[in-house]
Amino acid sequence: MGQVLRRFGNTPASWSRRRLAATWLEAAASVLWSHLLIVLTVVWIFAPRDGANPVIAYWGMVIAFVDLSQALIGVLLDRRYDTRIWRSVLWLPLYPLIYWVLLSAAAVRGTLPGALRRPSGPVTWHIPRTRQETGTN
């Protein structure tokens, strides 16, 4: 993502790429949000009075309420098929937090190297291939 944002950095200002400007701006805002979440959370952990609190007062509670409501409805619907599903209720509040932190960390890890240094050559994706048996002789 970092290489794509760097390569097409002039997209919002280019008339020929004007239709891609919204997509580029959304990707840039997502990357910025991920970086800010990680940085402000680290600042908040080490200096709680100086940093921004990552738990947003009103909208954070709305999102948490909707998340827990959806999860509890899912547990209620599945309890007939899995009687031990109530054990997972303790993990419900932590799932979105862990999900957002892992996704943000992956975005920061993936975009920083691509945005800060030029690739040495063409960027390709190397996928190891294994020979599959066809089953016919």
- Per residue in 48-107, pLDDT (tens digit) is 665 556 556 677 778 778 888 888 898 899 888 988 888 888 887 787 778 888 888 888
Domain residue limits at 44: 2-116
Residue 131 included in any domain: no
Residue 126 included in any domain: no
Rg (CA), the chain: 22
Global pTM value? 0.58
* Cα–Cα distance for residue pair 1/20, rounded to 1 Å: 15
* Cα–Cα distance for residue pair 104/5, rounded to 1 Å: 17
Residue 95 included in any domain: yes
* Cα–Cα distance for residue pair 113/3, rounded to 1 Å: 8
The total of structural domains in the chain comes to 1
